[in-house]
Chain A
Amino acid sequence: MLRVLIPVDGSENADRAVGFVIRKAPLYKEPLEIHLLNVQHPFPGTIRGVHKEAEQVHHEEGLKALAAARKQLDAAGVKYVFHISVGEVPEVILHYVTDRKIQQIVMGARGLGTVAGLLLGSVTTKVLHLVEVPVLLVK
């Protein structure tokens, strides 16, 4: 089993990364254990007393961001697990890589927040610095 993590932020680039994994999956010698991950940016820390409701909103927004990716995978009949967490994206990705013993990351080169003209998004760049596993960038 090759454990692959695909961070998805709802951007088209992320969805292309998912499409790429679907197409290339048969090329791998081992079956893939695919993990989708959406990381929600937290509300500012001045919010008080509404933690449970905030989590609900994060959960819903996470499901929205993952929807297109999940649709592709479901249509192709590919098995996957999905996760939604809140926090700083690169650090949360690192957490899952360690926690789930991920062996490879496939992610978009640029994401939703990327400033036009940058070759690599800031999240992608930070992930490249943080993780020890191979990272495959899809444009």
Chain B
Amino acid sequence: MKQANALIIDHQQLKGSYRLLTLKVPEIAVFAKPGQFVHVRCGQTLEPLLRRPISIHKIEADRGELSLLYQVVGRGTQLLAEKQPGDQVDIMGPLGRGFTLPEWVNRAVVVGGGIGAAPLLSLVETLVIAKVETTVILGARSGELLIGVEPMADLGVQVITVTEDGSVGQPGLVTAALKQLLHQVKVEENNKLDYLYSCGPKPMLKAVTALALEYNLPGEVSLEERMGCGVGACLACVCKVRKQEQMEPATGLLKESELGPESGAGASSCSVNEPVASDFSYKRVCDHGPVFSLGEVVWDD
């Protein structure tokens, strides 16, 4: 993990508010893995203050380059959008834990919603190299908001596009397309989908997870959360995860059996009636994540 002044080699305006930024930064690119992110300082001054975490879209380690596909949504990304080739951008990275590829995976489905497509390109490149048969489903509210389709298709994988308003591809939600695929593979191909990867808005991830679990399909999701430090120090960017059996570092998880005065040194005499939730703890999206296993995440209603 390093801090570096990356050189902008290319900065394209794609459709709508989407931008594609290509950086030459070998000291980070060489170590980057699909699913990781960089923490970007968008302006030179103290206002806006914080860095913006942006997932890595494409990694070209031998050229020492990485690309970021991002959306202009606020003052930080607006400032970033104004930078030109030849300018430098102060970035930290590569940060976080990326996607994994268990060796028994032969057939995968990758589901992206809106800007959630961004971290999935380098993942699919890895799957293709590993000869994993991959189907990609990319969706958005409308054709204008659908992004990342062409580079995926260029990899030679099947890409199913879905828009809620039907302007491009199948009309409806990605979950409907996913359900169709799961059913089709089960019935027609008589071969199982081994693994699911997904990134997108929380309601989409929640629905995709529910569907995957229904079909006993393991997999991983990539999350985002407002971030402070980006390196695991400030504990701002946490996500609710299911309780594990052991005490987790820095999660505040407490085993039920460790409550109460008989648990020895450390028992507080006015133990705050904190809802030491018996079914979840908090893990940092910048450090344990941004990639989490499907079954791990507790989705709020």
Do A and B actually bind? no
Taking beta carbons and an 8 Å cutoff, which residues of A are in contact with B?
none
